[in-house]
Structure 1
Amino acid sequence: MHLRDATPADAGQIAEIYNHAVVNTTAIWNDVQVDAANRVAWMQTRQGDGFPVIVAEVDGQVAGYASYGPWRAFDGYRATVEHSVYVHPGRHGGGIGRTLMEALIARARADGKHVMVAGIEAGNAASIHLHEKLGFQTVAQMPQVGQKFERWLDLTFLQLVLDDRPAP
């Protein structure tokens, strides 16, 4: 496995992974699939704002991707980021998600971020467990704040404090 920053050439494979999650899971609370052009625009915005988009490449294919961006759009939250990690459905359970998470955490620390937030559908025990193994702690449960597949979804928020600064 090789980790690297994503390029526009990865957009089609990133869109495939994203779309699989849209159609088949509650990992993404969107109903609309995207195309490669959408993912290129997303990457350009993310990277243009100074945030990483990382891909895990296996045998020349994108096996997963990860990114973080602003948690909330107010100046006071500038040291807090929210992340996303998605793995190709044929590659689950192989450590790709964990490797991408570890890279994101390292990047956030290097970028001087203070807290990383994860918003995870409460029934996604595997993702919650992975985050807990990496030191994230559950800080909130929000029942019925989302919907997909004609049912209400509960949201679990976890966070990882990235440094021990007593003040910003």
Structure 2
Amino acid sequence: MHIRNATSADLPALLDIHNDAVRTLKAIWTDKLDSLEDRRAWFDARKEAGLPVIVAETEDGTVAGYGSYGPFRTKEGYRLTMEHSVYIVPGARGKGIGKALLLRLIDLARADGYHVLVGAVDGENTASVALHQACGFEITGRLPQVGMKFGQWLDLLLMTQVLDDRPVPGDV
């Protein structure tokens, strides 16, 4: 497996992975499938903002997963906090690809000068919770029944990792 920066040529694979998650997982709290144009707009906005979009590529060149991070919230006071996402193709889940992508995102966020990385996880997703904990995240909040999908209320777990030990905030 090789982790690299995503390119526009990866957009069809990113779209397939994203839409599979929308259809089958509680990880993305929407029922709306993206179009290729939606994914391109998302990708272009990330790149324009200097934010990473990375992919895990198998030996045969297949994209098996992707990850990215973006602003946790839009107000200036949150500018050193990013929220990440990692998604894996169904047949490759549980094989270490998500962990490799998440660890790379942590390294990139540190290198970019961010202070905290946030994961927003479905409260029932024990595999994602375990993955985040294995990568140094802690559960720092539970928001009960704030979302819904597949006809049920969903709890949102906030998992965070402080990336540095600076005593006072600085700019990125």
TM interval, short-chain normalised? over 0.9
TM-superposed deviation, 1:35: 2.1
Give, in whole Å, the separation in 2 of the partners of 1:53 and 1:4. 9
Deviations 1:52-77 (A, max 9, x none): 00011112111000000000001111
Give, in whole Å, the separation in 2 of the partners of 1:124 and 1:111. 29
TM-superposed deviation, 1:96: 0.4
Q: How does 1:133-144 map to 2 (within 5 A)?
A: 133-144=134-145
Give, in whole Å, the separation in 1 of the partners of 2:108 and 2:36. 25
The residue that corresponds to 1:66 in the other structure is 67
Secondary structure, counterpart of 1:4 in structure 2:
strand
Q: How does 1:16-35 map to 2 (within 5 A)?
A: 16-35=16-35
The RMSD of aligned alpha carbons is 0.7
The residue that corresponds to 1:158 in the other structure is 159
Give, in whole Å, the separation in 2 of the partners of 1:12 and 1:35. 10
Give, in whole Å, the separation in 1 of the partners of 2:53 and 2:121. 19
TM-score between the two structures when normalised by the length of structure 1? 0.98
Answer whether contact 1:11 1:37 (CA < 8 A) is retained.
no
The residue that corresponds to 1:6 in the other structure is 6
Answer whether contact 1:12 1:35 (CA < 8 A) is retained.
no
TM-superposed deviation, 1:147: 0.4
Q: What amino acid does structure 2 have at the position aligned with 1:21?
A: A
Deviations 1:58-109 (A, max 9, x none): 1211100000000000111110000000001010111100000010000000
Q: How does 1:11-160 map to 2 (within 5 A)?
A: 11-58=11-58, 59-160=60-161
Secondary structure, counterpart of 1:38 in structure 2:
helix
TM-superposed deviation, 1:39: 1.0
Q: What amino acid does structure 1 have at the position aligned with 2:133?
A: E
Give, in whole Å, the separation in 1 of the partners of 2:85 and 2:2. 19
Q: Where has structure 1 moved over 2 Å in runs of 4 or more?
A: none
Number of residues paired by the alignment? 168
Q: What amino acid does structure 1 have at the position aligned with 2:16?
A: E
Secondary structure, counterpart of 1:146 in structure 2:
strand
Secondary structure, counterpart of 2:165 in structure 1:
coil
TM-superposed deviation, 1:2: 1.1
Structure 2: segments with no counterpart, 5+ residues: none
